Amino acid sequence: MAAWELDILIPTARFVFSVEGGAVDVLPEHRSPEAFVAYRRLRDRRPVVGMTTFPNTVLLRGPLTVVVDPGLPLQNDPVLRALEACGIPAAGVDLVVLTHAHLDHVGGCAALPAPVAVHARETAAPYWRLAEGVLASRPLERLDGTAGVIAPGLEWALTPGHCDGHISLACETQYGVTVLCGDTIGPGRAEFDAMTAAGPGAGEMLASWRRIRDWAPDTIVAGHLPPFAP
């Protein structure tokens, strides 16, 4: 039997919109990464273009009740309602884990009074000031080093590339060995599948992808992609 039960409370989505002549046009395509591609194309044709992005917000139930990446501030109420649908009140969440502290992953913490686990490197990043405003006086569990255990059967490892303090999680769920890797993979998965990264941080990203593969996952839940089997 799996040590952890996994539910996706809020699935990833991208909402792309443009403004022209005083009218707002919202694209019907909300999946990732298709909407990200549409956003890039639209940006070349319209003067005002925007995109709102929801990550996968994950519930893990096992030795603890854990919420991973509760999303944007505007997701506070949806996250609470999704938890209630699973029979869990806000006070029933033992821990919130952030794969990283970008606002689209940390904003929903405002609805949850639980302690928040995040890598110590993230608390030194310039964008941490925004996260601090959301977290207010919540207890903070700073993860340090390159790997560790959050709870029995729930491991974490440092997987930088998207940002310095990015972590990924691994546990046994009903979907087999499952890795929650945040934005270490994305917005597409072709580069991860081919293990070919480009750009200044390519070496670091490849090392993080190898760390993810070391877990031999059956299922990967990235921040902005539907779950997939590698």
Q: Do 192 and 106 fall within a single domain?
A: yes
Residue 107 in any domain: the answer is yes
Residue 230 in any domain: the answer is no
| 91-131 per-position pLDDT tens digit | 999 999 999 999 999 999 999 999 999 999 999 999 999 99
Number of domains observed in the structure of the chain: 2
So what's the pLDDT on residue 20?
87
| 202-211 per-position pLDDT tens digit | 899 999 999 9
Residue 180 in any domain: the answer is yes
Q: Do 81 and 97 fall within a single domain?
A: yes
So what's the pLDDT on residue 1?
53
Q: Do 9 and 31 fall within a single domain?
A: no
Q: What is the mean pLDDT of residues 16-44?
A: 88
pLDDT at 69 over 60: yes
Residue 168 in any domain: the answer is yes
So what's the pLDDT on residue 117?
98
Q: Do 64 and 170 fall within a single domain?
A: yes
Q: Do 124 and 156 fall within a single domain?
A: yes
**Residue span of the structural domain in which 212 resides:** 5-13+52-222
Q: Do 196 and 82 fall within a single domain?
A: yes
Closest CA to 169 of 67, 17, 21, 25: 67
Q: Indicate the DSSP class of residue 224.
A: T
By the 10 Å C-beta count (0-12 exposed, 13-18 middle, 19+ buried), 175 is classed as middle
Q: Do 87 and 39 fall within a single domain?
A: no
Residue 228 in any domain: the answer is no
Closest CA to 24 of 53, 48, 54: 48
Q: Do 201 and 133 fall within a single domain?
A: yes
Q: In what order do the strands lie in the sheet with 5-10?
A: 5-10, 57-61, 65-68, 95-97, 116-119, 140-143
Q: Do 37 and 83 fall within a single domain?
A: no
Q: Are β-strands 176-182 and 219-222 bridged in parallel, bridged antiparallel, or unpaired? A: parallel
Q: Which residues contact 25 (CB under 8 A, 6 or more apart)?
A: 17, 18, 19
Q: Do 134 and 197 fall within a single domain?
A: yes
Phi, psi of 213 (to 5 degrees): -65, -25
Q: What is the mean pLDDT of residues 190-207?
A: 90
Q: What is the mean pLDDT of residues 213-230?
A: 97
Neighbours of 218 (CB within 10 A): 14
Residue 229 in any domain: the answer is no
Domain holding 101: CATH number? 3.60.15.10
pLDDT band at 46 (very low <50, low <70, confident <90, very high): confident
Q: Do 149 and 39 fall within a single domain?
A: no
Mean pLDDT, the chain, whole residue set: 94
Q: Do 80 and 27 fall within a single domain?
A: no
Residue 111 in any domain: the answer is yes
Range ranked top by mean pLDDT from 18-27, 101-110, 190-199: 101-110
What pTM, to 2 d.p., does this model score? 0.94
Lowest mean pLDDT among 80-94, 118-132, 184-198: 184-198
pLDDT band at 37 (very low <50, low <70, confident <90, very high): confident
So what's the pLDDT on residue 31?
83
Terminal C-alpha separation, the chain: 22
What percent of the chain has a predicted confidence (pLDDT) above 70?
Answer: 100
Residue 227 in any domain: the answer is no
So what's the pLDDT on residue 125?
96
